[in-house]
Amino acid sequence: MRILVSILLSCCVAPAFAQMAPADTGMLLPLQDRQGDADLAQFVTEMLETEFRDSLRLASSDGLRDELRRLRLRNAGDIDTADLRLLAETFDVEWLISATLHFATDAPEPQIVVSAWAHRVEENNLAWAGFESGAGLTSERSLGRDRIEIIEDLAAVVVRRLVADFEDSLEGDREPIARVQPDRGGFLLKPVAVEQLGTVAVLPFESVTDVRSAESGELITALGRALLHRNGATVLHPGRVNAILRRRGVFMRGELDPLARAALRMGGDAGHILTGTVEIYEAPAAIEPNPHVAFSARLLEVDTGRIVWISGQERKGWDRPGLFGRDRIYDAGSLAENIMQSLVTGLLQPTKR
């Protein structure tokens, strides 16, 4: 009887497991560590490798850094799609993934922000863009029994959510942030259907914050890409955007001259540009932190340079506490995410479901 059961299992169960094995190959580019915490960066890298193996057959990264140096590519998160294609051919993979550790603090309450994008060979647009953040207090339940107190434990939760978002994106099963009220302020000619946007080039947001100005600008830029993608927009790869602007000798943020806009149209088929300004990004380290974030965003037509939408918000994490304080936001990354989702859903014409 046991022999018969073993035969049945080998015939029926084994093929089922074989079908679950990832079909596509991929490679993780070196993590962009904006926090400067080598130990945490290594932990996040290992978590990404572990989690992505459920979706992709990850190739070994042996020799990757040498190849990046040979191609004179210093910033793995800012590589043009042509160079990404060369990397993919060299390592025989179909997907390349880049992640950035934007912010992390361990005491007195842990907080972390991680973003990532995925590129598929032969495309100029992002195949996926994700953004996840969290705080130890966010998971607090009765008597604080579920509070996360160790930064590595929080990082593991955030990375798992990030990779789950990648998997949901592949299956076409992503949902916008729940319960976010669309922003109807600012200036808007009229709501835009996501199909009318065409390809969106997200330009780096200018940052005028007092502390970690470059890092906060990069963080909000990554957030803009992720939430446009989450809401169904086609987003031009950031490496392609930067390569086009570098060739034009353009390094400024915001509006572009007609020739630079024409280059984005010709080199990336961009129809609109999203950019903006970060005024405040404060992620205080406290027993019960009250983050403070303010930024504006604007959408321009590539062909005309006309601003078709501009809006912004300033909020603190405790502005909308809800019943028993359950809706408080304890980390600046989650607060920025709520603001950006509110702005984007205010811009886009509601989708019928």
The pLDDT of residue 274: 96
Alpha helices in the chain (DSSP H): 2-20, 38-52, 64-70, 81-91, 151-170, 213-230, 238-247, 258-268, 332-347
According to CATH, the topology of domain 20-347 is Rossmann fold (3.40.50)
pLDDT, mean of residues 262-268: 92
The pLDDT of residue 285: 81
Which residue in 56, 131, 96, 341 sits closest to 239, CA to CA?
A: 96
State pLDDT tens for residues 30-61.
999 999 999 999 999 999 999 999 999 999 98
The pLDDT of residue 184: 78
Indicate the pLDDT class of residue 109, thresholds 50, 70 and 90: confident
> Is residue 218 pLDDT above 70, yes or no?
yes
Are 202 and 46 in contact, with CB atoms under 8 Å apart?
A: no
pLDDT, mean of residues 114-135: 94
Phi-psi group of 305: left, alpha or beta (phi > 0 → left; psi -120 to 50 → alpha; rest → beta): left
Neighbouring-strand partners of residue 272: 200, 301
Cis peptide leading into residue 284 (ω within 30°): no
On the CB side of 152, CA atoms within 13 Å amount to: 8
State pLDDT tens for residues 314-347.
999 988 765 445 678 999 999 999 999 999 988 9
Highest-confidence range of 60-69, 90-99, 103-112, 181-190, by mean pLDDT?
90-99
Which residue in 253, 237, 231 sits closest to 344, CA to CA?
A: 231
The pLDDT of residue 334: 94
What's the rounded Cα separation, in Å, for the pair 270 and 226? 17
Neighbouring-strand partners of residue 99: 116
Q: Give the SS3 label for residue 100.
A: strand
On the CB side of 271, CA atoms within 13 Å amount to: 11
* Token pair listed for 302: 């590539």
Are 299 and 308 in contact, with CB atoms under 8 Å apart?
A: yes
